[in-house]
């Protein structure tokens, strides 16, 4: 089954967009699906036309009989001359139908002899029988036209004779049709055997039985190969000329012009330019067996890279990307006739350079913001079918448009908004001395991750910049107790000063506190004991 994979990445780089495009085309011309089935259909059509022709003659005879019978009923009321004249008109019309039928029989016999000799061998007796009947009918009508009835009775007898004669000829034609149907059955049985052949060597074996089969199948293989590879892709020409550096350079220049013209038509204006266009084409063709049948495969990989200028616009602090380029269809022709006579390429066909599958509003594309890289990725995947002379190409393309910053899209326009960084000023002082605390580590956290951090200066101050939102603020400094609080950051500025940091108690002071606490506890216990004794 023919298939096409398309992957396009358009990345904003400042005021330009860089596009990387990879198209992989894999076409398979299978013996059974593409050639043998078509061969069988053509044979069936040919012998079917033979039967239809005979049935057409039968219908013409029936119509002639009907007209003559009507004329016979009216004969007593019409002049003899009119009766004879009308009868002759009926015969002339029938003779004309007969002549056309003979021509068709000759064409079918000639076609079968030329393309399907074994079919002609198989239906030869039916062809000869029908041809003989038609020739006889044609000759007899010529004689009947010469009859000259002199009165009404002879005219009526003449009509009766014509009707009886045509009834006999109708019976003879019906017998021909029966023979034709029998031969069609024989042909269908033969085709069932042929359709089971899955490899060329199987066809070669059947050649002994079905004369001309191998030659016709091979010719059809070559014909369909020429249609796809030679006419649609022009693969032989591309393969030959893409090896030449001078051709590649000139080809890129002309393709560049074609793309700019297509972009101008797409945007409805000029001033959009394509630069730094490079193209690389890889070819592969082989004859192999796939699933037990002979297959000709073509693999074509096209890699394009280019820069588009004129679609990125600065609007204040924001950036607007006019993204119609995402569904560019290069329909402008590229004239290469100076390299090969008559070679005019349409990129959308020969290079499958058609991205119209992505012509849906950007709201339908998926949107992902990647904070680590500060980019927004718009992505769209679809599935379309493209018809080719040998079948259909199933397309499963994907395109990504990558934009700097936080971006949103509407219709064909992407807007990237400038990221607002709000200054957060923190001043750290000692809670006891009210002196600045230098080299304190001030950190802002969001969802468990560090967003910004810094050390206080000699004035105990530090400035951090973050986007608006809610954060956890922590302050750490040796010999000070860890400080933590939640803050809400909003433009234009947040100031936290003074932030009082409490020193950790010194060891001697801790010991003194412990001694004092113990003394107080002992004294309290003694007072309690004394009071209890006094109550007694």
Domains and CATH numbers, the chain: 3-31+222-415 (no CATH), 32-197 (1.20.120), 422-501 (2.60.40.10)
Question: Stretch 425-448: mean pLDDT, rounded?
Answer: 94
In whole angstroms, how large is the CA radius of gyration of the chain?
46
The DSSP output letter for 228 is I
Choose the most confident range, by mean pLDDT, from 23-37, 106-120, 154-168, 196-210. 154-168
pLDDT at 465 over 70: yes
Question: Stretch 112-134: mean pLDDT, rounded?
Answer: 90
Q: How confident is the model at residue 511 (pLDDT cuts 50, 70, 90)?
A: low
pLDDT of residue 282: 86
Which residue has tokens 């950007």? 362
CB 84 within 8 A of CB 91: no
pLDDT of residue 514: 65
Give the full edge-to-edge strand order of the sheet including 461-466.
461-466, 422-430, 494-501
pLDDT at 25 over 80: no
Q: How confident is the model at residue 1 (pLDDT cuts 50, 70, 90)?
A: very low
What separation, in Å, do the N-terminal and C-terminal C-alpha atoms of the chain show?
110
Please give the torsion angle defined by the CA atoms of residues 450, 456, 461 and 465, in that order, rounded to the nearest 10 degrees. Answer: -30
pLDDT of residue 391: 56
What sign does the CA torsion over 245, 247, 249, 252 have? Answer: negative
**CA-to-CA distance for 191 and 209, rounded, in angstroms?**
12
pLDDT of residue 397: 85
pLDDT of residue 474: 97
Q: Answer left, alpha or beta for residue 441, where phi above 0 means left and psi between -120 and 50 means alpha.
A: beta
pLDDT of residue 95: 92
pLDDT at 179 over 90: yes
Average pLDDT of the residues of the chain? 87
pLDDT of residue 2: 44
Of all residues in the chain, the percent with pLDDT exceeding 90 is 52
> Can you read off the two tokens belonging to residue 136?
């006889």
Choose the most confident range, by mean pLDDT, from 192-196, 207-211, 474-478. 474-478
**CA-to-CA distance for 87 and 155, rounded, in angstroms?**
9
Question: Which residues neighbour 489 within 8 Å (Cβ) at sequence distance 6 or greater?
Answer: 422, 424, 466, 467, 468, 469, 470, 471
pLDDT at 454 over 70: yes
Question: Stretch 150-154: mean pLDDT, rounded?
Answer: 89
pLDDT at 196 over 80: yes
pLDDT at 386 over 70: no
The DSSP output letter for 526 is H
**Poorest-confidence range of 138-142, 152-156, 293-297, 424-428?**
293-297
CB 283 within 8 A of CB 240: no
Question: Stretch 31-58: mean pLDDT, rounded?
Answer: 85
CB 39 within 8 A of CB 217: yes
Give the full edge-to-edge strand order of the sheet including 318-322.
312-315, 318-322, 413-417, 406-410
> Can you read off the two tokens belonging to residue 128?
């000869």
pLDDT at 508 over 80: no
pLDDT at 529 over 70: no
pLDDT at 390 over 80: no
Choose the most confident range, by mean pLDDT, from 49-53, 425-429, 524-528. 425-429
Give DSSP secondary structure letters for 374-417: TEEEEEEE--EEEEETTEEEEE--EEEEEEESEEEEETTEEEEE
pLDDT at 11 over 60: yes
pLDDT of residue 385: 66
């Amino acid at each position: 089954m023919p298939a096409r994979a398309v992957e396009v990445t358009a990345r904003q780089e400042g005021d330009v967009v860089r596009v990387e495009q990879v198209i992989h085309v894999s076409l398979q011309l299978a013996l059974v699906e593409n050639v043998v089935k078509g061969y069988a259909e053509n044979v069936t059509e040919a012998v079917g036309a033979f039967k239809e022709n005979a049935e057409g003659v039968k219908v013409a005879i029936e119509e002639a009989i009907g007209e003559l019978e009507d004329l016979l009923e009216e004969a007593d009321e019409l002049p003899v001359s009119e009766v004879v004249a009308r009868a002759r008109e009926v015969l002339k019309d029938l003779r004309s139908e007969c002549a056309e039928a003979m021509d068709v029989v000759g064409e079918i016999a000639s076609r079968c002899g030329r393309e399907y000799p074994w079919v002609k061998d198989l239906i030869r007796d039916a062809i000869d029988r029908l041809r003989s009947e038609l020739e006889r009918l044609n000759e007899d009508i010529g004689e009947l036209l010469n009859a000259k009835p002199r009165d009404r009775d002879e005219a009526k007898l003449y009509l009766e004779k014509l009707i009886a004669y045509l009834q006999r000829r109708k019976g003879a034609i019906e017998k021909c049709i029966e023979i034709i149907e029998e031969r069609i059955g024989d042909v269908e049985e033969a085709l069932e055997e042929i359709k089971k052949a899955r490899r060329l060597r199987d066809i070669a074996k059947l050649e002994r039985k079905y004369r001309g089969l191998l030659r016709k199948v091979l010719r059809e293989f070559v014909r369909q190969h020429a249609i796809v590879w030679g006419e649609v892709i022009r693969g032989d020409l591309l393969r030959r000329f893409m090896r030449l550096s001078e051709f590649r350079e000139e080809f890129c220049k002309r393709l560049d012009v074609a793309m700019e013209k297509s972009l101008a038509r797409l945007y409805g204006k000029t001033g959009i330019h394509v630069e730094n266009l490079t193209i690389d084409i890889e070819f592969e063709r082989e004859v192999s067996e796939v699933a037990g049948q002979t297959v000709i495969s073509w693999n074509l990989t096209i890699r394009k890279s280019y820069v588009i200028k004129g679609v990125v616009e600065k609007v204040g602090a924001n950036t607007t990307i006019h993204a119609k380029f995402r569904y560019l269809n290069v329909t402008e022709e590229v004239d290469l006739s100076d390299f090969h006579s008559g070679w005019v390429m349409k990129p959308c066909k020969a290079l499958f350079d058609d991205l119209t599958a992505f012509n849906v509003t950007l709201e339908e594309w998926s949107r992902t913001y990647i904070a680590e890289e500060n980019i927004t990725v718009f992505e769209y995947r679809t599935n379309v079918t493209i018809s080719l002379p040998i079948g259909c190409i199933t397309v499963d393309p994907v395109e990504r448009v990558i934009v700097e910053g936080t971006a949103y899209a509407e219709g064909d326009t992407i807007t990237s908004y400038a990221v607002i960084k709000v200054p957060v000023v923190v001043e750290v002082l000692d809670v006891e001395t009210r002196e600045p605390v230098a080299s304190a580590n001030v950190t802002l956290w969001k969802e468990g991750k560090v967003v910004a951090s810094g050390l206080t200066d000699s004035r105990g101050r530090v400035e951090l910049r973050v986007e608006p939102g809610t954060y956890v603020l922590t302050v750490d400094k040796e010999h000070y107790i860890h400080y933590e609080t939640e803050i809400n950051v909003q433009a234009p500025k947040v100031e936290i000063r003074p932030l009082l940091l409490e020193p950790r108690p010194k060891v001697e002071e801790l010991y003194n506190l412990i001694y004092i606490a113990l003394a107080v506890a002992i004294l309290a216990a003694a007072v309690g004991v004394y009071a209890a004794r006094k109550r007694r």
